[in-house]
Structure 1
Amino acid sequence: MAWRRTHNCGELGIENTGEEVVLNGWVDTRRDLGGVIFIDLRDRYGITQIVFNEVDKKLHEKAEQLRTEYVIGIKGVVDKRDDENVNPDLDTGDIEIIVKELEIYSKAETTPFEIKEDIETGEEIRLKYRYLDLRRPDIQQNMILRSDFYQTVRSYYHQHNFVEVETPVLMKSTPEGARDYLVPSRVNAGKFFALPQSPQTYKQLLMVSGFDRYFQIVKCFRDEDLRADRQPEFTQIDVEMSFVNEEDIMESTEQMMTKLMKETIGRDVAPPFERMTYKEAMKTYGTDKPDTRFGLEFADFSELVKDSEFNIFSNTVQEGGAVLGITVPGQGEMGRGAIDRLTERVKEETGAGGLIYIKLNEEDGVKCSVEKFLKEETVDAMVQKAEAEMGDLVLILAGPAPDVYTQMSKLRLMMGKEHNLIDEDAFNFLWVTDFPLVEWSREDQRYHALHHPFTSPKQEDLGKLDDDPTEVRSRAYDLVLNGYEIGGGSIRIHDRELQKRMFELLGIGAEEAQERFGFLLDAFKYGAPPHGGIALGVDRIIMILAGGNSLRDVIAFPKNQKAQSTMDNSPDYVDQEQLDELHIRLKRGVGPEEK
C-alpha cells in the first residue's frame, strides 16, 4: 500500500526545513559517494534530492538496491543544503531530504531509452514504449499544456453563453473529401456507420433546433495519408452560431484565442488579427496559409519580361505562367558554388526546373545569371520591382501557374529558415478570406467544394454560380498561425433551394442529395436560421504553442505515419467469429494468414 504523500517532488523549499515529509516517485538518478547515497526523486511536478547515510545500516543496505525508474516512497526530514551544494537548476535545489524510511513499491528493468529531455532516440522506439516516453518532462509539459488549453476553452465559451453539446461518434457516411473510417453494424447486416470527419451536419441541425451558440471539443477521424501535422484521429474545437455574419465569428474566435494565449503560455496578442484575401495570399506568398513572421514577399516580373529575348521568360508568360522573384537580404556575396548547390536543392525540394538569380554586391555591381539574354534596363527594372539593394540576392523562378507559386512558396520558406529570417518567438495570426467557392477537378471532371458543400457563396457573386462558378467567392475564412492553418469555417447555406443548387453544381443529383443529406434538407423545411461557425485544430495549435514540429509530441497516444500504434499493435486482425457476427468476409489474400 502506498504511503500518503505530504508533498510532491517540486514544492519543498527552505521554509520547510526541519519538517517531516513523505514523498513518492521514480528514481531519476542515483549517486553513491563513499557510503552516502544520493537519489534524485522525480514525479510530474519536479525533482527532489533525497539522501541515505550510513547511520542506519539496514536502511542504507536497502537503498543500495535502488536503480533508475524504481518506484519508491520515502519518509524523512527536510534539510537545508550547504551553500556550495545548492542546485540552482532545481526549484527544490536549496534543500534535500534525509531519509528515515524507504518503501520500494516496484522495481524496474533498464529502460530502452533515457527518461530525460532532448533524447536522440528514434520516434518508432519512443512510440512503442509510449508509456515511458510520457514520463519525460518535456512530453509531460505538453500534456499539462493540453489540459490547461481545454480548461481555458471551456471557460471562455461557457462565459459567452455557448452550450456544450456532444454529437454522435457513429454517424451516416457522407463521403466528401477524405475517406471515412467505417464501422460495421452487427444488428443491421450489411450496413455501416462512419466515424465523423467533423460534426458539420449535426451542428447545423443544432442551429435549426434553436441552440444559437454551440461548441464542443470533439474527436474527429479521417482516413488519409499522414505526415507530421496529421493524425487519423484528431481533436477540434467545433463552434456554430446563429444570426451572425463573418465578423461575429472572427471576433469571437479572436477573443478566445487571445484568452488562450495569455492563460496557457502567458503571451499577449492583440486583436483584431491581420486579414488577407485568398487571391492576395496566393499572389504574395504562393499559399493560402502564409507564414507572416518574415518578409520575402513575391515580386511578379511577368509584365517586365513578357517580350524579352530570353525564351524561358517570354514563353512562360505567353503560355499563362509567371516569372516570380524574392529578395534575400544580405546574400549578394553568395559564391557560384553555393548557388549551384542551392539550385540543386531547389530542383529537388520544390520541383522547379531551375533557378535564376540577380546578385548585387560592391565588387560585381548588378550581376544576373542570364544577363546575356536580357537587356540591362530589364534587369534594372527587375531589381527595382524586387526592391533589392546592394548586398542582396534576388532568386527567380519561372513556370506554369499555379505550380510556380507553390514552388516559390517552398523556396521562400527554405530561405527564411536557412538565413534565420523567421522570428521563432513570434505568434502571427492571420485571417484568409474570400476563398473560391469551388475548384474544377480535371481528374474527376467535376467541381469540388473548396471547403465543404454547405459553405455559402457571397451574395454579390450568386449571378456567376451557373455560368462562371470558379469566379464565385465563398463566405469562408481560415485562421492561420505561423504558416499553419489552425482553423477554418464559413457562413453556411441555410436556404433549401440554394443548397440544392450547390449540390447540383458539385454533380450531386437530387436523388443522391436526398439519400446522403436528406435529413439536413428536410430540417431546412421547418425554418433554419442564418448561421455559421468554425472548427479549430486543437492538436496543431498546441503543437505550435509548445514549440514543437510534430503532432505526435502533443497527443498522449498517437499513431505513426502508417496510422499504426506499435505500442498496442493496432490495428490488428480479429477472430473469424467476430467477422462472422459482423457479416464480413475478407478478400482472398487478406487476413491473419498474411502476417
Structure 2
Amino acid sequence: MAEAMKGLHRTHRCTEVSNQNIGETVTVMGWVQKRRNLGSMIFVDLRDRSGLLQVVFETKDIGEEGFAKAEKLRNEFVIAAVGRIEKRAGAVNENLATGDIELRATELRILSESETPPFPIEEDSQTKDELRLKYRYLDLRRPDLQRNLILRSKVATLVRNFLAEEGFLEIETPILGKSTPEGARDYLVPSRIHPGKFYGLPQSPQLFKQLLMCSGYDRYFQIAKCFRDEDLRADRQPEFTQIDMELSFVDVDDVIDVNERLLARVFQEAIGVEVPLPIPRMTWQEAMDRFGSDKPDTRFGMELVDVSEVVKGCGFGVFIGALDNGGSVRGINAEGQGAMPRKKIDALVNLAKDYGAKGLAYLAVNEDGTYKSSFAKFMTEEELSALVQAMQGKPGDLLLFAADQNKVVYDVLGSLRLELAKNLGLLNKNQFNFLWVTEFPLLEWSEEQNRFVAMHHPFTMPMEEDLELLDTDPGKVRAKAYDIVLNGTELGGGSVRIFQNHVQEKMFEILGFTMEDAYERFGFLLNAFKYGVPPHAGLAYGFDRMLMLMAGEDSIREVIAFPKVKDASCLMTEAPNVVDLKQLDELSIAIQAEE
C-alpha cells in the first residue's frame, strides 16, 4: 500500500552524500534497483538520477514493523529512507561514487509499488529497441540514457551562456509558418479558421532570422525545434533541434571565429575534450579530391589518389572509357589488406555498385612483389608498376580503383574508405577531429528538374570573385558557405547571405524562378530587403547530432527523450493516429479511402 510523504523532505540525492556526511541523519528517495535479503539484514541499492546508494535495513535500527516493510520491497518500488550515513561494514565497491558508505535506515516509507518491468533497468541494455521505445518511460530510467539527457541539458546551458556573453539575443521564431516547397517536404497543419489553407512547420528558422537582421537585432540565436517530412536514418528524426544563429555586419571569418570558441568551450566544459584552435579549413574541392566526401572523416588516412594520367593510354577498356567520357580514375590504398579473402572483396564490389559504379577494379600486391588483380591481363608490367608506385603500394597492400564520372568516383571511394575503416577498427570514438569545409559550389545541376538548384538555399552569397561567372558558367560559381564537420559527420552549416537586390534577382533567375514566383514564396523577405538590410551571415548546428557524437552513441535516438522510429511513428503514444470525424469536419478535411 503506497504511503504519503507526510511532511518528509528529501535532504540529498543518492550520490550527494559522501564520507563528509558520516554520522549525519539524511533522507533519500528513489527507486529500488536491487534487493538482497540475508535473513537478519536486507540490502537495497537505491537509484535516482544521480546514481546508487546502498541502504541497509536491520531490526535493531528500524524495528520489527519497518523490517517487515523492507521485506516487501521489489525492483522499481519508489521509497523514502531516513537514516545515518556510516562507513560500509562490508567490502568497498570501487565502481560506485558512494561505494565506501551506506545508509543505516531508521525509517522506511513505500511511496509507490511497481509491477515487474518488461525488461531490466540496466546500463548497456540488450533489450530490442522496439520494446525499449514502447516503454520509453522505463527505458529513460537507465543510467546511460539519463547521463545522455543530463549532458544534453548541460550543453544547452553552456551554449546559451556563451552566446549571451558574445552579445547574442535569444529570440523565438514561429512554429506555424508558410509552407515553402523548395527542398525537403514540409509537415502541414490545417487551419480551422481558413478552410482549405495550411501552415507549414519550419524546416529551419532561416527566413525569420534574416528578417531579425533586417530589424537591427545584430546577433540572434535560438535552440529551435525544426521539422522535416523525409525518410529517416540513424542521425535523422522528423522533429529535431538546431542551435541556430545569425550575425550582422560580418563575413566568413567572423562567423568561424565565434563558433570555434563556442565549440572549444562546450567540448571542454561538457566532456573534458580540448579542441585545438584554429580548426583546420579545407575547400570543398580539396575535400572531394582527397576524401571523396564533403564531410570527410580525417581520423584515418586512406586518401583518394587520382591516377588518370598514369593509366592514360593503357589497355584496360574500363579505365580508358571513363577518361574518354570526361571522367577520372582514382584509387585508395587499404594498407596491409593484400590478403583479403575474395568473398570480402566481392562485398566491397557490391557496395561500390550500390553507390552507382558498374564495378570496382582491385590489385593486391603480394608479399613477394607480384600482383593479384582483376585487370592485370589488360596492362603491361611497366604500366602496373607505375600504377602501384603512384598509389605508394607496398607488399601486402590492397589497391581499389573506381573509374567513372567524378561524382560516382567520389561517392564510391568515399563510401569504401569509411566501410574499410569501420571493418578495420580505425574509428576511435574518443578522438574528435574537427574540420571546416569552405567554398562549396553555389549550385548543383538536378537531372530530375533539368535545372540548377541551390546547394544550400537561394539566399547564399556567391564568392565576390566568381560573380561574373553567374552569367557565363553558373556551375563553377563558389558560395560563401561553410560546414563544420566532426569525424565525418556534418555538425552544422551556414553561409554569408545575399543582401544586394541585383544578386538575389540573378540567383532567382538561375534557379528558374520568375520574380512573380520568388515574391509568391518569399515576398515578405524580399520586401523587407527594400528597407535597408545589413550584410549578414549565419550558421545552424544539428544539436542532436552533436550530442550523439559527444556521448559516443551511434544513433540520435539515444540523446532524445522521446524519439520516433524509422516510419516517423512513436511506439509509446502510438502517434500518428486516427482522429474523430468531428475534428476533420471542423477542419474541412475529408479522408479519401485508397482504392
TM-score range, shorter chain: over 0.9
| 469-478 vs 357-366, greater mean Cα deviation | 357-366
Out of 390, 400, 409, the residue aligned to residue 405 of structure 2 is 400
In the alignment, what sits opposite 1:178?
184
On the 8 A contact 2:348/2:416 being kept in 1, the answer is no
1:232: which partner in 2?
Answer: 238
* Structure 2 partner of 1:576: 581
Question: TM-score, normalised on structure 2?
Answer: 0.96
Helix, strand or coil: the match of 1:518?
helix
Select 1:63's aligned residue among 70, 82, 87: 70
Change beyond 3 A, Cα 1:335–1:553? closer
Q: Does 1:504 align with 2:509?
A: yes
Residue 124 and residue 283 in structure 1: after superposition, are their counterparts in 2 closer, same or farther (change >3 A)? same
2:198 aligns with one of 192, 196, 219: 192
Gaps of 5+ in 1: 591-595
Distance in 2 between residues matched to 1:232 and 1:356, nearest whole Å? 39
The alignment status of 1:302 with 2:308, answered yes or no, reads yes
Q: Partner of 2:289 in structure 1?
A: 283
Task: Give, in angstroms, the shift of residue 32 of structure 1.
Answer: 1.3
Q: Quote the residue 1:16 is aligned against.
A: 21
2-structure distance, mates of 1:57, 1:242 = 71
What's 2:271 paired with? Answer: 265
Residue 541 of structure 1: aligned partner? 546
- Alpha-carbon distance change, 24 to 336 in structure 1, aligned in 2, over 3 angstroms: closer
For the 8 Å contact 2:352–2:416, the answer to whether it is kept is no
1:138-177 matched pairs, under 5 angstroms: 138-177=144-183
Q: Tell me the CA shift for residue 345 of structure 1.
A: 5.2
1-structure distance, mates of 2:452, 2:322: 27
* Residues 350 and 411 in structure 1, CA contact (< 8 A), matched pair in contact too: no
Aligned partner of 1:470 among 469, 475, 485: 475
Aligned to 1:410: 415
Deviation at 1:366, TM superposition (A): 4.4
Q: How many residues align?
A: 588
Task: Show the counterpart of 1:5.
Answer: 10
- 1:306, 1:318 within 8 Å by CA — same for their partners in 2? no
> Shift of the alpha carbon at 1:519?
0.8
**Structure 2 counterpart of 1:210:** 216
How far residue 91 of structure 1 moved from its aligned partner, in angstroms, is 0.8
TM-score, with structure 1 as normaliser: 0.96
State how 1:166-565 maps to structure 2 within 5 Å: 166-332=172-338, 334-337=339-342, 339-343=344-348, 346-347=351-352, 350=355, 352-565=357-570
Q: Shift of the alpha carbon at 1:321?
A: 2.7
Q: What code does the residue aligned with 2:267 have?
A: M
Q: What is the CA–CA distance in structure 2 between the aligned matches of 1:239 and 1:40, rounded to whole Å?
A: 45
Q: Distance in 2 between matches of 1:229 and 1:295?
A: 24
2:324 maps to amino acid: Q
1:76-91 → structure 2 map (5 Å cutoff): 76-82=83-89, 85-91=91-97
User: 2: distance between equivalents of 1:382 and 1:589?
Assistant: 58
Tell me the alpha carbon deviations over residues 75-97 of structure 1, each in whole angstroms, 9 at most, x when there is no partner: 11222113x51111111111111
Deviation track 1:200-246 (CA, whole Å, cap 9, x = no partner) reads 11111111111111111111111111111001111111111111110
**Residue pair 1:313, 1:398 contacting (<8 A) in 2 also:** yes
Following TM superposition, by how much is the alpha carbon of 1:330 offset from its aligned partner in structure 2, in angstroms?
Answer: 2.1
Cα pair distance change 1:571/1:338, threshold 3 Å: closer
Aligned residue for 1:227, secondary structure, equals: coil
Distance apart, 1:392 and its partner CA: 2.3
What residue identity is the alignment partner of 2:178?
K
Q: State the superposition RMSD in angstroms.
A: 1.7
Structure 1 residue 17 displacement after superposition: 2.0
CA distance in 2, matches of 1:343, 1:220: 37
Contact 1:222–1:233 (Cα < 8 Å) also in 2: yes
* Aligned equivalent of 2:108, options 72, 82, 102: 102
- Counterpart of 1:593? none
Contact 2:355/2:408 (8 A) holds in 1: no
Separation (CA, whole Å) in 2 of partners of 1:16 and 1:525: 67
CA contact (8 A) 1:9 1:43 kept: yes
> By how many angstroms is 1:407 displaced?
1.1
Q: CA deviation at 1:344?
A: 5.4
- Which moved further from structure 2: 71-80 or 322-331? 322-331
Q: Which amino acid aligns with 2:107?
A: E
- Structure 2: which 5+ runs fail to align? none
Q: Is the 8 A contact 1:431 1:479 kept in 2?
A: yes
| Cα pair distance change 1:236/1:336, threshold 3 Å | closer
Structure 1 CA distance for aligned equivalents of residues 398 and 320 of structure 2? 22
Is the Cα–Cα contact under 8 Å of residues 249 and 534 in structure 2 kept in the other structure? Answer: yes
Q: Which amino acid counterpart does residue 70 of structure 2 have in structure 1?
A: A
Tell me, in whole angstroms, the C-alpha distance in 2 between the residues paired with 1:100 and 1:349: 66
Partner Cα distance (2:585, 2:160) in 1:
43
Distance 1:33 1:341 in 2: 59
Q: Distance in 2 between matches of 1:422 and 1:542?
A: 18
Determine if contact 1:455/1:492 at 8 Å carries over to the other structure. Answer: yes
What SS does structure 2 have at the residue aligned with 1:139?
helix
- Structure 2: which amino acid aligns with 1:434? E
Give the share of equivalent positions with the same residue, in percent.
52
CA deviations on 1:366-385 (whole Å, 9 max, x unpaired) are 44442221112222222221
Please give the alpha-carbon distance, in whole angstroms, between the structure 2 residues aligned to 1:352 and 1:202.
42
